[in-house]
Copies of this chain bind each other. A is one copy, B any other.
């Protein structure tokens, strides 16, 4: 079992170190190899995703990823900015299925912006298509407008697009995930305005015929953004495109109030996957030893489950995380009165001990 370890920038190195600690403590035959990615790779090699890093990732069964990005790279040309590394990995490895659970841990209900009764027990799974849509659609660029409101003016443009097989495969992922949960899929679109998402809706409906045991609901993206605030627990599995999924999965994470706890997985059709926390590189707290490593540790658990076929080990990690929460250990982002504040490494050590 080969794992590529890509810590990245900001708090990335600190949180990944704790996840690696936990993986090592499992005493399984992993081969782990690290490489630079993002701003760190740009500084060392002049590119956020050097060929050596990409090749390591391609050859691995799974990638444990930290986070990339820092304000200081904002002025670089777009192709050299840290976030291009994550877009490049998604594209080159074909990681089309992004799993973003939004779970509210019993012990952390108070951290949410929402009233406790609305958020306690939340467990939704957002499945975001990750290699299509307006993220990668061509053509795109700048040009002189030949029609529209101001012909002759300078304009910029992008292309949103989805092909039938792209929609079919992510729909299958969603229905299959729902089968293992509460058997309800909400497909989010904007069919009332966009050709792409009328097609999305049609194809998802077609695929649904193969899953009569799963309930399918269609919802416009603006309404979904509202319903997530109003009654998040009404959702089970949410499936949507790359752009809407970017927005809604972040909204849903923040609803829990504890984004520092939320893992994610991005899989291709061979179950090769990239695993990373839902939060970012947080340059403001980098190097201080206060970042919450639990989202990354839980991402490692998802890696064991989805890409390495080690369900038992995944459950051991998840149970250990539960245990440290019950013990009252908290990094500053989830701290509340009456609990014990700990740093990044202490939290990692506690999880190892609880395994």
Please report A residues at the B interface, Cβ cutoff 8 Å.
Answer: 78, 81, 83, 87, 94, 113-115, 118, 131-132, 134-138, 140-142, 145, 147-150, 153-166, 190, 192-196, 198-200, 221-223, 225-230, 243-244, 246-251, 253-255, 259
Contact = CB atoms under 8 A, between A and B. Distances in A.
Given A135-B193, A138-B148, A159-B160, 5 more contacts: A155-B199, A160-B160, A221-B247, A229-B251, A247-B247
B251 A226 contact: yes
A78 B226 CA distance: 24
Contacts of A199: 142, 155-156
Contacts of A229: 113, 229, 251, 254-255
Given A221-B247, A225-B250, A229-B255, A131 B149 contact: yes
A103 to B, nearest CB: 16
B163 A153 contact: yes
A155 B162 contact: yes
A186 B192 CA distance: 28
A61 B136 CA distance: 43
Kindly report how many copies of this chain are found in the complex they form together. Answer: 2
A94, A145, A193 interface centre (most CB from chain B within 10 Å): A193
A134 B160 contact: yes
A176 to B, nearest CB: 20
A198 B79 CA distance: 13
Contacts of A247: 221-222, 225, 244, 247
Contacts of A138: 147-148
A195 B157 contact: yes
A166 B193 contact: no
B156 A159 contact: no
A139 to B, nearest CB: 9
B137 A165 contact: no
A166 B148 CA distance: 10
B164 A157 contact: no
A78, A150, A163, A223 interface centre (most CB from chain B within 10 Å): A163
Nearest to A117: B113
6 contacts: A113-B230, A134-B160, A155-B163, A155-B199, A156-B199, A159-B160
A163 B228 CA distance: 33
A158 B160 contact: yes
B161 A156 contact: yes
Nearest to A224: B247
A140 B195 contact: yes
A95 to B, nearest CB: 12
A341 B153 CA distance: 54
B141 A195 contact: yes
